[in-house]
A and B are shown apart, each in its own frame.
Chain A
């Protein structure tokens, strides 16, 4: 039984994975005449841009507004006088702790997923074991498992392991659920490495470990970064695992913290918007400096 939502058939399950190496390819140089404005899509874009931009505008202006100003000025007025007090309040609260937890969880989950997935992908592509082909389909099954459906047994298992309310309780399941896609993308990338390269290394008597280090690692670097971005975004924004598998403030992550701020700040809307904005900062910085890579990472494994 194959349940791969993105791959096609048994022979070439990863052919539709977009390889970072082919990113620049096929950018159709459009004929100028094709640029003639199509008012339908144009107006749709305009409307949607407004719909997207307004909440972002609200987020920005409200986070700079004085607390008392929110009720009086309404949600859309420009804030005056501008205050950074909301940011100060958020940063002097629990925010930095949540932030640090988020970093630990994200790094932990991504490192485990990527390392294990790389090993597995190398074996899948190069080993002749039939077992591994089965294993590959077995992993693809994972793409179809909704995390919610197994959260109750996970809660039981994490409790039995005495990991409840620790950061490991988030890292381990998040890493496990990141594996299928990571393997899918990495297998696709490793298949692109010409077989002759492996063979010549093997002829030289290289062990699999040497081939892995000297061939696989360098050549799959773009795919690794794509996968890393994808997994990191997922782990950074994860909600269900922390919600169910952690409890105390010491191990709270940002997403849960945001929800908690809602309670803590009560009616302090400006404080809440500052917290949401701050939770965005690392991704926003990444977005500003390497938008292309971030966006291609996001659609890892899904685009043509």
Chain B
């Protein structure tokens, strides 16, 4: 029983796969969800049989992940049995998969459906004309389309066209707090605004604890602060400009202001003094939170699984652990309902696939079907499918689900959205900003130069 949130720390391609979204923690077993396991196509309209077009076997490529693969295999079997098609799943280990995809796509032995990370990862293939535009097909099946949470579907959308459909759970980054620690400092509710957070930091310091946990030994944890702050200060467009490689995007005033706010936090002692020695993978911030040494922590939704899977079940279930959205910033351009993190993984259809119709039917029959949704819930994932509130019994899952459902924009983790070289330089420089070794302006200039 373990959580494998950043499995790609090993191997070469660490950066691009940095936030591999495989949450294999013990699920918060949902008794209702375990019950049904049949009739996948029941809820969806149409059906492959109508099309009558069954050419060669439609091939699905995905990365190895025992629990998710099993769910896909089940769905494929059901689909094949119902329609007489021959859809087939092929899986690959994480890093080789990317290589396989890059070289395979557009070639003769390309898949019909392929697993991807959405965002920048998907864009490179759609820009090259290798990915089928699903927009008009989705317009014909509005019921199906509208079942996906818009902010998550947005990450599978490039230039207004839908190229990818979410096929896994959502993992937004959220704020966690230790209620007892806050109370001891005379704070009765988690901060909802930046100013509140600043004043609470002072109170927490006075009460003798470190206000916010930070695993500064691993720069991707620091990145979450920049991701949220820039989104709040300047809106998601600012990061989009960075992704697009617009000139001066890194020296945009909003970026500089966000970085200054980070340094304000550091100067205010929000992260204590030894944060740069703390790692997430080894000892990390979880122990700090569970042992009541910090008030807040900003981390991905996998954090709860990490707590439960590593001997802190007691704390996770004690009621001391609280969670909430990232604070709003007055005067900021971004919608306070926006979120950042790992939206999902996506299935896309290849442009030149001879089996496009079968592929589309398979996605239509599967992704929002009750059995697929239930199966994902059963392994602890929260699918990006609308209208499943009733199935969510776990309060944390309910919270993240609603958070994602209400979010106008879901910005993908930067280290995943950017190309590996930029990402590597960004993480190094960001660590220097947190150490006050680099000013926000220097950061912007260094990054513009990459």
Q: A67-B310, A243-B10, A243-B11 are in contact. Are A264 and B286 (CB under 8 A)?
A: no
Q: A71-B291, A266-B306, A267-B283 are in contact. Are A247 and B2 (CB under 8 A)?
A: no
A259 touches B10 (CB 8 A): yes
B449 at the interface (CB under 8 A from A): no
B283 contacts across to A, CB distance below 8 A: 267, 269
B311 contacts across to A, CB distance below 8 A: 67-68, 267-268
B11 touches A263 (CB 8 A): no
A269 contacts across to B, CB distance below 8 A: 282-283
A267 touches B12 (CB 8 A): no
* A242-272 to B contact mask, C-beta < 8 Å, 1/0: 0110111100100010011011111111001
Kindly provide the distance from the CB of A74 to the nearest chain B CB, expressed in whole angstroms. 11
A165 at the interface (CB under 8 A from B): yes
Contact residue among B4, B5, B96, B286 (Cβ-Cβ distance under 8 Å from A267):
B286
Docked pose: A164 CA to B95 CA in angstroms: 12
A266 contacts across to B, CB distance below 8 A: 2-3, 281, 284, 286, 306, 309-310
Kindly provide the distance from the CB of A97 to the nearest chain B CB, expressed in whole angstroms. 15
Docked pose: A72 CA to B309 CA in angstroms: 18
B287 touches A267 (CB 8 A): yes
Kindly provide the distance from the CB of A7 to the nearest chain B CB, expressed in whole angstroms. 36
B12 contacts across to A, CB distance below 8 A: 155, 244, 247
B93 contacts across to A, CB distance below 8 A: 165, 247-249
B11 touches A264 (CB 8 A): no
Docked pose: A267 CA to B5 CA in angstroms: 13
B9 at the interface (CB under 8 A from A): yes
List A residues 161-197 near B (Cβ within 8 Å).
164-165
A243 contacts across to B, CB distance below 8 A: 10-11
Kindly provide the distance from the CB of A158 to the nearest chain B CB, expressed in whole angstroms. 12
List A residues 219-246 near B (Cβ within 8 Å).
243-244, 246
Q: A71-B291, A263-B4, A269-B283 are in contact. Are A256 and B10 (CB under 8 A)?
A: yes
B88 at the interface (CB under 8 A from A): no
Docked pose: A256 CA to B7 CA in angstroms: 12
List B residues 7-49 near A (Cβ within 8 Å).
7, 9-12
A268 contacts across to B, CB distance below 8 A: 310-311
A263 touches B310 (CB 8 A): no
A244 contacts across to B, CB distance below 8 A: 12
Closest to B92 in A: A248
B6 at the interface (CB under 8 A from A): yes
Give how many A residues have a beta carbon under 8 Å from the other chain's beta carbons. 27
Interface SS, B side: loop
A71 touches B9 (CB 8 A): no
A263 contacts across to B, CB distance below 8 A: 4-7, 9-10, 281
B290 at the interface (CB under 8 A from A): yes
B9 contacts across to A, CB distance below 8 A: 259-260, 263
Kindly provide the distance from the CB of B198 to the nearest chain A CB, expressed in whole angstroms. 29
Docked pose: A171 CA to B273 CA in angstroms: 45
A71 touches B287 (CB 8 A): yes
Contact residue among B5, B281, B291 (Cβ-Cβ distance under 8 Å from A262):
B281
Closest to B309 in A: A266
Docked pose: A264 CA to B24 CA in angstroms: 11
Kindly provide the distance from the CB of A169 to the nearest chain B CB, expressed in whole angstroms. 12
B2 touches A264 (CB 8 A): yes
Closest to A246 in B: B11
A264 contacts across to B, CB distance below 8 A: 2, 4
A165 touches B96 (CB 8 A): yes
Docked pose: A264 CA to B310 CA in angstroms: 10
Docked pose: A90 CA to B309 CA in angstroms: 14
Docked pose: A93 CA to B95 CA in angstroms: 22
A260 touches B10 (CB 8 A): yes
Residue positions of A touching B, CB distance < 8 A: 67-68, 71-72, 93, 155, 164-165, 243-244, 246-249, 252, 256, 259-260, 262-269, 272
Provide 17 A-B residue pairs closer than 8 Å at the C-beta atoms, listed in order of the A residue: A68-B311, A71-B290, A72-B291, A247-B10, A256-B10, A260-B10, A262-B281, A263-B5, A263-B281, A266-B3, A267-B282, A267-B283, A267-B284, A267-B312, A268-B311, A269-B283, A272-B282
20 new A-B contacts at CB < 8 Å, known A72-B291, A249-B93, A267-B283: A67-B311, A71-B290, A165-B96, A243-B10, A243-B11, A244-B12, A246-B11, A247-B95, A248-B96, A256-B10, A260-B9, A263-B10, A266-B306, A266-B310, A267-B284, A267-B287, A267-B306, A267-B312, A269-B283, A272-B282
Q: Which are the 10 A-B pairs with shortest beta-carbon distances? A: A67-B311, A248-B93, A266-B310, A247-B11, A267-B310, A264-B2, A267-B286, A247-B95, A263-B281, A71-B291
